[in-house]
């Protein structure tokens, strides 16, 4: 089977029902993939090397494209409740601290969101 047909076969909603899927890694990508396969009826096992899934103190940002994927999995309300809607991003020069540009994010649909670990 060529690569294009393999790709179609693994994303077809009907072909994943009853499949046994192993997801390696319990981070954002792994858990999202596991949820997507499980919603299609697959039997999913997630393998993670860490003893527990805990916050590591870093924040994440989810772009509108990423938010669309999570919305398709039914997570839009949870994202809205937990994230901060971004107003703008301002890259800065690492040496001088001067703002290089300002990108207005208020018109992004879905919203560009930031998430931080609770303190």
Between β-strands 20-24 and 43-47, what pairing exists: parallel, antiparallel or unpaired? parallel
Task: Kindly list the averaged pLDDT for each block of 10 residues, start to end, along the chain of length 119.
Answer: 48 75 93 93 94 78 86 88 88 96 90 74
pLDDT score recorded for residue 119 = 55
pLDDT value of position 67: 86
The pLDDT, as a whole number, for residue 7 is 46
Burial of 67 per CB tally in 10 Å (0-12, 13-18, 19+): buried
CA distances 71 to 16, 30, 48, Å, are 20, 16, 24
pLDDT at 9: 46
Predicted model pTM:
0.66
Domain definitions of the chain by residue range: 1-54, 55-119
pLDDT for res 118: 59
């Amino acid at each position: 089977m060529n690569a294009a047909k393999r790709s179609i076969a693994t994303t077809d909603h009907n072909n994943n029902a009853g499949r046994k899927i192993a997801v390696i890694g319990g981070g954002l990508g792994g858990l999202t993939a596991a949820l997507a396969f499980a919603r299609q009826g697959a039997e999913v096992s997630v393998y993670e090397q860490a003893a527990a899934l805990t916050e590591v103190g870093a924040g994440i940002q989810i772009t509108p494209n990423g938010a669309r994927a999570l919305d398709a999995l039914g997570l839009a309300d949870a994202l809205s409740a937990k994230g901060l809607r971004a107003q703008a991003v301002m890259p800065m020069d690492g040496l001088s601290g001067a703002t290089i540009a300002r990108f207005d994010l208020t018109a992004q649909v879905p919203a560009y969101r930031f998430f931080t670990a609770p303190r």
